[in-house]
Amino acid sequence: MLKSFRRPLCSSSSAKSSVDPSEIGKFSALAGKWWDPNGSAAPLHRLNPTRIGYIRSTIEKMVLPNCAPAVSSGDRNTKCLSGIDVVDVGCGAGLVAEPMARLGAKVLGIDKSSEGIAVARTHAAKDPAIASTDVLRYREAAVEDVLNSGENFDVVLALEIIEHVAEPARFLRHCASLVREGGVLILSTLNRTVASYVLGIVAAERVLGWLPPGTHDWTRFPTPEEVADVIRKETNLVPEEAVGVAYNPFRGSFSIVETTNVNYMLTASRPIVTARNSANQSSLQNETSASV
């Protein structure tokens, strides 16, 4: 079990945020290269089609049925996610937020890196279809800031970020608190295995040079079991599935696989209880009236 998942929660003000300033600084230095498909963010560009495909299919399967009236008027081919509210936590320069907005979702991208947010806004402004609407907004903020604002969402994305926060369990709880009933939390990260060390650290950072050395700390990678355990015991969400993401060097692309020993994506849902409680209350009232 990761020490950071079992680290006692402190009462000091510094412990109220899951933000790790050193990690923010690390990625702020790379902000100007986020949209370069051949730069330091190249692995994310290769990964993006697979991430977006999985997110889209998960939303269509688990969230859209709960929001059918809101999307009935949308073009399901080009705006298939119309009516869905999404927050992309740790959005960086918007590599996922932008395509989600193009699919019709109303997206809020948040990140504590002011440099990353500036690059995200500048890039989004180049697309009139996005810039002329309110479907995509960016905010320099942590998940705690959004939680304190009282906002909630159909979909909460936490992609390649949990391994960079100061308090993973706290971060998971706060992300879970942003999920509406009938919504989902979708998380992606690297597993803490020998394979992830060889491929994610040695190969990606030291051999292939995909990422700057020191981008990741293998000891901070959470296992799917650890993430699911925190979600199950400390939030109101239900872990649904964990799928692996594997890179094919011959095709130069990623795909969804069964094994989660390197990269994985995990989905957790928040059950709809309001309608059920209302139905139970109505049934109780009817029984009371009948007995009278």
Q: Which residues are annotated as a binding site for S-adenosyl-L-methionine?
A: 51, 90, 111, 159
* Cα 187 from chain centre: 5
Residue 254 near residue 246 (C-beta atoms within 8 A)? yes
Instruction: Output the CA torsion sign for 23, 24, 28, 31.
Output: positive
Phi, psi of 247 (to 5 degrees): -100, 130
Do residues 155 and 59 lie in contact, with contact meaning Cβ atoms separated by under 8 Å? Answer: yes
> Is-contact 106 134, C-beta < 8 A?
yes
Summarize the annotated binding site as residue ranges: 51, 90, 111, 159-160, 163-164
Distance between CA atoms of residues 214 and 207, nearest Å: 13
Contact predicate 43/204, CB 8 Å: yes
| Dihedral sign for Cα atoms in the order 48, 101, 171, 234 | negative
Neighbours of 285 (CB within 10 A): 10
Give the integer Cα–Cα distance in Å for 86 and 108. Answer: 6
Positions at the binding site for Mg(2+): 160, 163-164
Please answer whether residues 182 and 154 qualify as being in contact, where contact means their C-beta atoms are separated by less than 8 angstroms: yes
In DSSP notation, 220-268 reads GPPPHHHHHHHHHHHSS-EEEEEEEEEEETTTTEEEEES--SSEEEEEE
Nearest CA to 92 out of 124, 58, 131 is that of 124
Residues counted in the chain: 292
